[in-house]
Amino acid sequence: MTYVADAELPPYERTPSSQSRALAAAIRLGVRPFSGRVKGGPTGVRVWRTLLGAGSHCLRADPRVHVQPLNDPCVDLPEIRRPVRGEWLRPPGGDASRGVILYLHGGAYAICSPRTHRVITTRLAMDTGMPVLAPRYRQAPEHPFPAAFEDALDAYRLLLARGLPPERITVVGDSSGGHLAAALAGEACRTDLPTPGKVVLFSPWIDLTGELALTSPMLRRDPFIVPAVATRFGRLYVGGGDWNDPRLSLLTCASADLPPFLIQVGGIEVLRDEAEKFADALAEAGADYELQVWPGQMHVFQMFNGLIPEASEAMREAAHFIRRDVDHGSVPEAA
């Protein structure tokens, strides 16, 4: 066997850094024991919202990006039934002519917000030179399916209605936001809605039933996700909905008409199997996709860009995918 130095390999095939191993160990010891005790009821949801909201302040968003609140009543757009709320993240010198990113944040469909994910959205804005729209969608248990999906779809419709060419819109999502992003692209294929140009998924939560996560070989290695807890959150979101609805059941609804996908998943997370099976479904349907399994990385490790080298590399890979085939000229990159 020929030895290949890590430096010669793509970043998503290299040996995990000491920083990422230390971070995974700290989270395994400090977060996972607690998360396994949190129930999926209203009290548990409130606890998670408080903790993750506070924790997000420890992750530094790029101060160069201008954060602009959005509350568009959409009174001139009858196809959009409620105001679109959230925030725009605009990099210096960036404008929509380069393209726009629609970012759908994760949080098990019940927690987190555009604010908690600014460490990712501001980095995307800087690395691509594109404005990022992060909608604030309704969450379970107060608003079960299809509320979050409808809000994400309305945000996409708003971009189209404001003159954005669909091929210049990239939909990005992490975890449950990754489920939303894939569902939105699938819905566009099934209807007369123009499909977005590209889709990027960070650690997508594909199987809301939790069955794949519960049987994952990474069950004991994942430092963060407890599958039983994720299953409870899945039930909160689906509520009385039909689990076979194509907006929920993504593994059976892939199509050759889907836009190109980039899927990044951590090598030690329980959602790895789901990402790989979704990639298989895309391949079987004849869709264009790229799957990156990052060795030793945890769920949505991109949140730690600036702290661990793999997260920063993953963000650069995503930005390269988004910018690919589009002549943007000179685009600034985050440090």
* Residues belonging to the active site: 175, 269, 299
CA distance to 12, 181, 190, 229, 241, per residue, from 199 (Å): 19, 7, 16, 27, 25
Alpha helices in the chain (DSSP H): 18-30, 32-35, 42-55, 118-128, 147-161, 176-190, 211-214, 227-238, 272-285, 309-323
Q: Helix, strand, coil shares of the chain as percentages rounded to 5?
A: 40, 15, 45
CB atoms within 10 A of CB 123: 28
For the residues of 180-202, what is the DSSP string, one character each?
HHHHHHHHHHHSSSPPPSEEEEE
Beta strands 169-174 and 198-202 are parallel
Cα–Cα distance between 310 and 21 in angstroms, integer? Answer: 11
Task: Tell how strand 84-90 and strand 66-72 pair up.
Answer: antiparallel
Two tokens at 148? 């979050």
Rounded alpha-carbon distances, angstroms, from residue 90 to 63, 66, 67, 121: 11, 5, 7, 10
Two tokens, residue 206 = 């594909």
The Cα 158–Cα 160 span in angstroms is 5
Burial (Cβ within 10 Å: 0-12, 13-18, ≥19) of residue 294: buried
Inter-CA distances, 198 with 260, 263, 331, Å:
5, 11, 19
Residue 141 three-state SS: coil
Torsion of CA 36, 40, 42, 43, to 10 degrees: -20
